[in-house]
Amino acid sequence: MIKYIYPALVAGLITGLLVTLFNLFFVQPLIIEAELLELSSAGSLHEHLHAGDEGSSLVNERNFLTLLVNIAMSVAFSLIIIGFYYIRYGFGDTRNLLKVTFSGFIVFFLLPKIFILPQLPGQSLGNTTFMQIIWILSTLGLMVALAISDRMSYFSERLLLLLSIFIISIFVLLNADLVMYKTDPLHSAFIYYTFISNLILWTLLYLNLNYFIKD
């Protein structure tokens, strides 16, 4: 297990760098635009625009912090994937690595953001209690299904998956007013690029880990 920690760190570092590059070009501008709109509505946009060098320094500081956060997050996810993969499968078939990585994408990004959409500065989350409960239940269900998947028949796996989707769908339909959002174009773009960013993150984690583990 110890010998796979270094590859996990390297995989996380590379992934964090590439994800940051994507975010700086596609996600960060949307956040800045939302902040400017918030400042404009608050009547302080004029002061912000005349901040000069101080504003430029803040942007550079933000970019650096974004890089650090993305690297730390990628390394953490990489170690989680390696740890779970080792405990569950013992570094056997790399198709199991894909299963673990895809499950991580679902648990840590897709399920939470289905019920609580990514928010721009100045936006209110509203009442999130129901959505948090559904996320927790969905996450626990996925973890249980992954843990016992090798002991289930093909039919049982598909039946469990369909049953889970059905239960979640019923909850969502009964509480549509809590989980359905009306988004403006800026928010829609932010949701789209946030999804792409996380898809890139988890795909790169799998590709890098698969490469370094094989070596």
Among the residue ranges 43-47, 55-59, 118-122, the one predicted with the least confidence is: 43-47
pLDDT of 46 higher than 60: no
pTM of structure: 0.78
Q: Please report the pLDDT score of residue 27 as a whole number.
A: 94
Among the residue ranges 2-6, 40-44, 187-191, 209-213, the one predicted with the least confidence is: 40-44
pLDDT of 43 higher than 70: no
To the nearest whole number, what is the mean pLDDT of the chain? 77
Residues 148-171: what's their mean pLDDT?
A: 60
pLDDT of 185 higher than 90: no
Overall number of domains in the chain:
1
List of residues 6+ apart from 55 with CB closer than 8 A? 48, 49
Residues in the chain: 215
Q: Which domain holds residue 14?
A: 2-214
List of residues 6+ apart from 203 with CB closer than 8 A? none
Distance of CA 106 to the CA centre of its chain: 8
pLDDT of 57 higher than 90: no
Distance set, CA 133 to CA 82, 107, 125, 139, 168 (Å) = 28, 14, 15, 10, 11
